[in-house]
Amino acid sequence: MNKRISFWMVLAIFSTNLVAQQPAWQPAPGHLTLPLWPGAAPGAPTNLPPEVDTTTPQLPLIAGRPIIRLGNVTTPTLTVYAPKANNTGAAVVVLPGGGYQILAIDLEGTEVCDWLNSIGVTCLLVKYRVPNTGPYPKSSAALQDAQRALGIVREHAAEWQIDPHRIGVLGFSAGAHLAAALSTHYDQRLYDPVDAADKLSCRPDFAVIVYPGYLAIADQGMAPNPEIHPTADTPPSFIVQAEDDTVHVENAIVYFTALKNAKVPAELHIYAQGGHGYGLRRTALPVTTWPQSVEVWLHTIHVLPSQ
């Protein structure tokens, strides 16, 4: 009897450990997912808690629906969402937001990929490390993941039917800051090269910056973040934010001004209302039409073919 009890106790412990090792979120079947790093990520600590969805019933809904708030991401990945038809060859690396604490992996991730696929664009969704992995230079972990992701996409461009000269980046909130950081920190990797992917450029060909944070410093009168310094080689950028955003609309304005001063082509959309964290979910507010404006812009800068 005691042996039988011990067996079931061991089996229960093993099963619990196995479940704990599984990611809290995985893409739907049919999508290729690659680890960003062949082994442990650079500087990764050990014995971290398992990945978890931190959403609770008390958290607010977005457009009437909950979101997945993914925490404790220690094994970053890249998932390929290819358009089922009308592949234009363009691609976008998507960086969800979450204050560098969690990732809004559906609201600012998979739902974005569905939209990009609908316009013939391949989506590369990055599940980067959180928490406390940015903003750079406070931590370089998230930016390391983003740099690595761009190199991997260019390495596999032919295999994934992507034009290596039409690979952009799109980020939300903290992910928007990460997209701007990648747009201005691509000339040198923040880690020792791993393989051939790290010999390829990690500069995005264009960037979409959606309700960004960390680009203006609140306790310095909304001064520009000196770590995000555009040059003439910074990629063309589309920026959108609402004036009533609690994260401060100055983040968008300051970055647009810096791009303008560097003579980088940029398009800025400021809406009267919208707050923060709406993703692509449509509401009655005009700010949620921003994806249509991005699509027009992509035609304008010749990432998508002329209409």
Please write the tens of the pLDDT for every residue from 78-128. 999 999 989 999 999 999 999 999 999 999 999 999 999 999 999 999 999
Please name the residue ranges forming H helices in the chain.
Answer: 2-21, 111-118, 141-155, 174-184, 250-261, 290-300
- CA dist 266 and 206 (Å) reads 10
Instruction: Look at residue 24 in the predicted model and tell me its pLDDT.
Output: 85
Task: Pick from 16-20, 55-59, 117-121 the range whose average pLDDT is largest.
Answer: 117-121
At 226-248, the pLDDT tens digits run: 999 999 999 999 999 999 999 99
Report CA-CA distances (Å) from 64 to 105, 143, 245, 291, 293: 17, 32, 19, 20, 24
3-class secondary structure per residue, 240-285: EEECCCCCCCHHHHHHHHHHHHCCCCEEEEEECCCCCCCCCCCCCC
**Structure token digits, residue 238:** 């589309």
Q: How many CB atoms lie within 10 A of CB 178?
A: 30
3-class state of residue 231 by DSSP: coil
- CATH homologous superfamily, domain 33-300: Alpha/Beta hydrolase fold, catalytic domain (3.40.50.1820)
Amino acid at 276: H
Instruction: Look at residue 6 in the predicted model and tell me its pLDDT.
Output: 44
User: Domain residues of the chain, as ranges?
Assistant: 33-300
With contact defined as beta carbons under 8 Å apart, do 143 and 181 qualify? yes
Q: How confident is the model at residue 9 (pLDDT cuts 50, 70, 90)?
A: very low
Per-residue pLDDT for 8 more than 50?
A: no
